[in-house]
Amino acid sequence: MPAPTVSGIHRGYIIPIGGREDKFTSSKVLTRFIELSGGEDAYIVIIPTASKLLDTGSEYVKIFNNLGVKNAISLEIQNRADTYKEAYLAHFEKATGIFMTGGNQLLLSTILGGTKVAQLIRRCNAKGVHVAGTSAGAAFISEHMIVGGANGFMPRYNMVNMAPGLGLTNKILVDQHFSQRDRLGRLLTALSYNPFVTGVGIDEDTGAFLAHDGVIEVVGSGALTIIDMSHIEHSSMPDARDNDPISLVGIRMHLLLEGSKYDANVHEVRVI
């Protein structure tokens, strides 16, 4: 669950990114994250745990430095023992932004889940620190996360695999690389398990900037696919078996481009 906020302090932005964000030309998504976090005076803590590549953290340090950030620190957390290192934990006291890289989201959940690091990320966000994640890092942001599944348009029984996420928000359920990997069906299947949340399919080089008031803003070159389950009238999920297709009646879907906003509390689109 999200950590409680302190009176008078707004929760920081929660920023799932669809993966493959532009890092070297316009860099719109990363630039907006940096601006929110304090610009050149930002203190960005990078968590490369999802990646098996040993240079992922150091590469993102270079990327943030090249975008003007003076202080970008990578915490090389590769196992649960690393989450107890006081030298790592101390950086969260200075953080104005936290960034989780791509890779395998199960590495994030199995290594960070239930640790002091996971608690600190939630507490930092509750105190106003902005938290972004790309690809696997984006999936991990929500209370529940998609960890795998089949591609395709039609939702089907057993189409998606899920696991507990970080729990920064319980308003949305994220799927990344959305249009590029044809993931509408698996997001719809995941949402059919619990229509309480709003589905957010995020294209590559695109970020969903979720503010403290529940409003999501689109930033980047792709689209957000918003799936509103608040008016659902019928789901055939309880009666489905094996690979049966799922009937969902009364859902709403929006495709939003940069500058558009969606209020996840009242389920309204604001197009600029």
Residue 2 lies inside a defined structural domain of this protein: no
Domain count, the chain: 1
Structure tokens at 14: 């929660």
The Cα angle at residue 261 between residues 63 and 127, in degrees rounded to 5: 60
Active-site residue identified among 143, 177, 192, 217: 177
Residue 126 lies inside a defined structural domain of this protein: yes
Residue 4 lies inside a defined structural domain of this protein: no
Task: Give the pTM.
Answer: 0.97
> pLDDT tens digits for 114-168?
999 999 999 999 999 999 999 999 999 999 999 999 999 999 999 999 999 999 9
> pLDDT tens digits for 20-45?
999 999 999 999 999 999 999 999 99
Predicted confidence (pLDDT) at residue 271 exceeds the cutoff of 90? no
Q: What does each C-alpha distance from 172 to 75, 82, 107, 194, 234 come to in angstroms?
A: 27, 30, 21, 11, 20
> pLDDT tens digits for 179-197?
999 999 999 999 999 899 9
β-bridge mates for residue 269, sequence order: 262
Q: Which residues contact 230 (CB under 8 A, 6 or more apart)?
A: 195, 198, 252, 267
**Residue 4 DSSP one-character state:** P
Predicted confidence (pLDDT) at residue 6 exceeds the cutoff of 80? no
Structure tokens at 168: 């920064």
pLDDT at 114: 95
SS3 state at 133: strand
Active-site residue identified among 51, 74, 109, 135: 135
**Is residue 204 flagged as an active site residue?**
yes
Predicted confidence (pLDDT) at residue 5 exceeds the cutoff of 90? no
Residue 148 lies inside a defined structural domain of this protein: yes
DSSP 199-249: EEEE-TTEEEEE-TTSEEEEEESS-EEEEE-TT--EE-GGG--TT-B--EE
Predicted confidence (pLDDT) at residue 8 exceeds the cutoff of 90? no
Give CA–CA dist 185/96, Å, rounded: 36
Structure tokens at 176: 């990344």
Active-site residue identified among 21, 143, 204, 217: 204
Residue 8 lies inside a defined structural domain of this protein: no
Residues 223 and 240: beta-carbon distance below 8 Å: no
β-bridge mates for residue 169, sequence order: 142
Q: Which residues contact 228 (CB under 8 A, 6 or more apart)?
A: 198, 251, 252, 253, 254, 267
Say which CATH number the domain at 147 has.
3.40.50.880
Among 131, 184, 124, smallest CA distance to 15 is for: 131
Residue 9 lies inside a defined structural domain of this protein: no
Residue 6 lies inside a defined structural domain of this protein: no
**Is residue 59 flagged as an active site residue?**
no
Predicted confidence (pLDDT) at residue 230 exceeds the cutoff of 80? yes
Domain that includes residue 115, residue range: 14-270
Residue 7 lies inside a defined structural domain of this protein: no
> pLDDT tens digits for 93-103?
999 999 999 99
pLDDT at 122: 97
**Average pLDDT over the chain, rounded to whole?**
96
